[in-house]
Amino acid sequence: MSKREGIVFTCLMLFLLLPNIVGTFVAQDLLTIGQRIIYFITSIAIYSLGLTLFRRRTFLYVASLGFLLSAIDLVHLIINHATTSLLFVFTIIKSEKGEFLELLSTYWFVLILFFTLWGVYYYLAHRFVKQEYIAPLRKRMWTLGVIVLFLTTTVVGLKLQPKFWNMFNIHGQDMRSAAWVGAEKACPVNMFLSIYNIVDLGHQIAEQKEALQDFRFGATYEPSRPKRVRDNQPIVVFLVGETSRYDHWQINGYERETSPYLLARQDQIISFDSVYSVANLTTVSVPFIFSRATPQNRELYMHEASIVDAFHEAGYRTAWIADQSFNNHFLMRIAENCDYKKYVTDPGEEVFVDTVLLPPFRTQLTTPETQQFITLHSLGCHFKYSARYPESFQRYTPDMTGLDMKALFQKAGGSEEPDGMARLKPENMTAFRNLKAILINSYDNAILYTDYFIDCVIRELEQTGRPAVLVYVGDHGENLLDDEKHMFLHGTYAGSYYEYHVPLFVWTSEQYRKIYPQKIEAMQRNRQKLTSTMCLFYSLLDLGEVKLPEGHPQLSFADTLMQAMDTVWGLDANLQPMAIPTRP
């Protein structure tokens, strides 16, 4: 190998290993020195394995196929200071077209940079690297043997980990802190494992769909009034909000006027103070809301039917109306079992608002005389915030409308800084405050429009003259550059208080309050108790007078026996149980 080729080849190898080099030093999810060592050795072993099997140029071509995965891993390391998590990959794979295009329009320069680097990589590999083996056959076979031995030991170590958990438990540390776990986190191993787990999860859900055909909760409808009278047939509406944080609602004490409609109805509405989402990403939090699964028993949502099925089993007419999550296997399984389902797709306009759900919702309120459970899954305040409200709700300005967000982020973070918002220079603080103000203005406008949308739903329910209850909950919150961590959006690896603390509102009609005064009293008493979105399964059934053979009144906020949680449990980015932060 000539000197020039050696330099080019070394640079290309370092380029391939860049995520692993960065991860060795900055990944906070590598908890021990042992993990970091195994992580880096695994990284070297993976690429060395390829070099023992392929000629140099062929190897670089083959390795380039993992370039995209490496780029994703590097972005995750820079943003979250952690190796790519399962949920991050899940978000990329399952992102809906509209969400993906919104983010792409904001960060288009990243895509251009990626393809530019990829082109340079291919040019250098083709121009300067020869089609020869890295070493003679004998040396390559010895190297191959060592690599295979190491990788085999790694797999055995990972497989035996649970069996030796009690033996090697140190200071109560979780078994996944063992050194061998570092091998799972090395790029591109972590990416392929995540993709495999996601595909496997999809297959499991598809298989369970048929198995659940015969599943029964034993749910029964036991009304307090005779159900033959239509005026006594309750309507339970469950509105799942998107990206909604507790502290930006005026009705919860926020200084800005972001919920004037709900505030005007505050004698009809109960707002719960201490509700936390089980996860900071829709694809995880919503399935848990609709099931009896817990962080400690997370697979239960695949082995049982949903709360919608429980209502249907009890004789309710069910409906699913949504303008998002069109490709979520779990939610689509629920929707398919409903008496009515309607997905309202984005027509591609600049602004796409939740009031598109009102026409199909209105049609369901005129259905035959029976009790009803209707789910509305809204797009809420999902980024890009300015696309969630019309111009007439552009109350707080300047907002994101018509602005180049990429340029604003560069000015605030300093384009030369490797981790952007994490290290702000004093001279950039003015730009940072301006960016933060724009984000908050846009987000508050989106909350304002969500308040209007909720009021529209309430007005539709009032016109029925029937006992009705509306439960609104945010699936998770949002980071808005709140503190010294300068976190933005949601689904971050570490998670923050702002991503988990969510609003929970319950509106009841006059007819409902007359029939169920004990439930209103119970909710008033429970409104300040610490709880999580896992309480919604039992609470919604309670509000609809649906009983299960194994009642859990301590989990229903509509029951006087509800118990507050000492610790709120949720899931981290790798779907492992964690204690949710309940303070900023």
Residue 91: predicted pLDDT: 63
**Whole-number percent of the chain with pLDDT over 70:** 83
Which among 153, 184, 203 is the end of a domain?
Answer: 203
Task: Tell me what the mean pLDDT of segment 512-526 comes to.
Answer: 95
Which among 203, 222, 255 is the end of a domain?
Answer: 203
Residue 451: predicted pLDDT: 98
Task: Tell me what the mean pLDDT of segment 513-526 comes to.
Answer: 95
Whether residue 339 sits in one domain with residue 240: yes
Please say if the pLDDT value at position 152 is more than 90. Answer: no
Closest of 240, 288, 161 to residue 577, by C-alpha? 288
Residue 164: predicted pLDDT: 38
In a domain, 211, yes or no: no
Residue 176: predicted pLDDT: 43
**Whole-number percent of the chain with pLDDT over 90:** 47
Closest of 583, 529, 581, 579 to residue 557, by C-alpha? 529
Task: Report pTM.
Answer: 0.72
How many CB atoms are closer than 10 A to CB 404? 10
Tell me whether strands 546-547 and 220-221 are parallel, antiparallel or unpaired. Answer: antiparallel
pLDDT band (50, 70, 90) for residue 223: confident
Instruction: Provide DSSP, 463-487.
Output: TTTS-EEEEEEES---EES-STT--
Whether residue 299 sits in one domain with residue 380: yes
In a domain, 212, yes or no: no
Whether residue 279 sits in one domain with residue 156: no
Q: Name the H helices within 389-428.
A: 405-413
Residue 226: predicted pLDDT: 58
Please say if the pLDDT value at position 420 is more than 70. Answer: no
How far is residue 566 from each of residues 212, 274, 296, 530, measured CA to CA in Å?
Answer: 34, 12, 16, 8
Please say if the pLDDT value at position 168 is more than 60. Answer: no
pLDDT band (50, 70, 90) for residue 235: very high
Whether residue 160 sits in one domain with residue 256: no
How far is residue 249 from each of residues 445, 451, 526, measured CA to CA in Å?
Answer: 11, 9, 20
Least confident residue range of 190-199, 260-269, 431-440: 190-199
Closest of 515, 506, 476 to residue 236, by C-alpha? 506
Residue 174: predicted pLDDT: 42
Whether residue 296 sits in one domain with residue 178: no
Question: 255-297 pLDDT, tens per residue?
Answer: 999 999 999 999 999 999 999 999 998 888 998 999 999 998 8
Question: 126-140 pLDDT, tens per residue?
Answer: 899 999 999 999 999
Structure tokens at 198: 């996601």
Instruction: Provide DSSP, 159-174.
Output: HHGGGGHHHH--TT--
Please say if the pLDDT value at position 376 is more than 80. Answer: yes
Q: Which residue has the higher pLDDT, 280 or 209?
A: 280
Tell me whether strands 531-532 and 269-276 are parallel, antiparallel or unpaired. Answer: parallel
Residue 105: predicted pLDDT: 55
Residue 265: predicted pLDDT: 96
Task: Tell me what the mean pLDDT of segment 157-185 comes to.
Answer: 52
Whether residue 248 sits in one domain with residue 185: no
Please say if the pLDDT value at position 173 is more than 60. Answer: no
In a domain, 160, yes or no: yes
Residue 481: predicted pLDDT: 87
Q: Which residue has the higher pLDDT, 119 or 301?
A: 119
In a domain, 230, yes or no: no
Question: 438-469 pLDDT, tens per residue?
Answer: 999 999 999 999 999 999 999 999 999 999 99
In a domain, 430, yes or no: no
Please say if the pLDDT value at position 542 is more than 60. Answer: yes
Backbone angle region of 172, left / alpha / beta, with phi > 0 → left and psi within -120 to 50 → alpha: left
Instruction: Provide DSSP, 53-98.
Output: HS-HHHHHHHHHTTHHHHHHHHHHHHHHSSPPPHHHHHHHHH--HH
Whether residue 177 sits in one domain with residue 291: no
Helices (H) and strands (E) in the chain, counts: 23, 14
Residue 545: predicted pLDDT: 94
Q: Which residue has the higher pLDDT, 373 or 420?
A: 373
Whether residue 241 sits in one domain with residue 189: no
- Residues of the domain holding 484: 235-393+445-579
Whether residue 135 sits in one domain with residue 20: yes
Please say if the pLDDT value at position 345 is more than 90. Answer: no
Please say if the pLDDT value at position 538 is more than 90. Answer: yes
Q: Which residue has the higher pLDDT, 368 or 362?
A: 362
Whether residue 168 sits in one domain with residue 53: yes
In a domain, 436, yes or no: no
Q: Which residue has the higher pLDDT, 404 or 440?
A: 440
- Cα(288)–Cα(281) distance, rounded to whole angstroms? 11
- Cα(381)–Cα(373) distance, rounded to whole angstroms? 24
Which among 203, 222, 244 is the end of a domain?
Answer: 203
- Cα(478)–Cα(499) distance, rounded to whole angstroms? 5
Residue 167: predicted pLDDT: 35
Please say if the pLDDT value at position 423 is more than 50. Answer: no
Residue 417: predicted pLDDT: 39
- Cα(314)–Cα(326) distance, rounded to whole angstroms? 27
Whether residue 335 sits in one domain with residue 483: yes
- Cα(81)–Cα(92) distance, rounded to whole angstroms? 18
Instruction: Provide DSSP, 259-284.
Output: -HHHHHTTTTEEEEEEEE-S-SSHHH
Whether residue 240 sits in one domain with residue 182: no
In a domain, 226, yes or no: no
Q: Which residue has the higher pLDDT, 492 or 47?
A: 47
Helix axes 67-80, 189-211, angle to 10 degrees: 90
Task: Tell me what the mean pLDDT of segment 348-368 comes to.
Answer: 87
In a domain, 408, yes or no: no
Q: What is the CATH number of the domain that holds 540?
A: 3.40.720.10
Please say if the pLDDT value at position 337 is more than 60. Answer: yes
Least confident residue range of 116-120, 269-273, 307-311: 116-120
Task: Tell me what the mean pLDDT of segment 97-112 comes to.
Answer: 57
Residues 232/226, Cβ–Cβ less than 8 Å: yes
- Residue pointed to by tokens 């209105």: 362
- Dihedral sign from CA coordinates of 506, 510, 511, 514: positive
Total domain count for the chain?
A: 2
Backbone angle region of 136, left / alpha / beta, with phi > 0 → left and psi within -120 to 50 → alpha: beta
Residue 555: predicted pLDDT: 93
Return the H-helix or E-strand segment holding 112.
helix 108-128
Least confident residue range of 16-25, 86-95, 174-183, 417-426: 417-426
